Structure 1
Amino acid sequence: MEDDDVPQLSAGTFTALVEFYKEQNERENRLKLVNSETSLNEDLNFDENWQLSQFWYDEKTVDVLIKVALKKCGC
């Protein structure tokens, strides 16, 4: 049986995700370097928590989440 509703990322979202993974790897590498030198003098600035970002949600997904939330709270 074929599932026609397989979730797919838009090209823009996929590009953002690739950039996120690249930045995440760079941060991890810098942190490893700082830890290996046992010096925390370098300013490691982690302004945005991408783990909390929900950039991959499209309007259809938001609508579904809203309906589920409203149903769960009895609205």
Structure 2
Amino acid sequence: MTTESSNSRRQFLQKITLAAGAATLAATSGVSHATPATTPTAVDVPEKSKGYQRTEHVDTYYHLADF
């Protein structure tokens, strides 16, 4: 195999790859549109939260976990 045929083959594959990439980009550029972001509504949080509570379920988890 000569280097001339190898170079021409590489150039051909590069051109095909660039053409396929450009066609894909052109085909998909108008398809997807981002939806406008909405701001989340405020959640009613009680003034005094109970916070962390050690329950039977939590104790069982700590007992079974390998710490």
TM-score > 0.5, shorter chain as reference? no
- Shorter-normalised TM-score: what interval? 0.3 to 0.5
Q: TM-score, normalised by structure 1?
A: 0.38
Larger Rg over CA atoms: 2
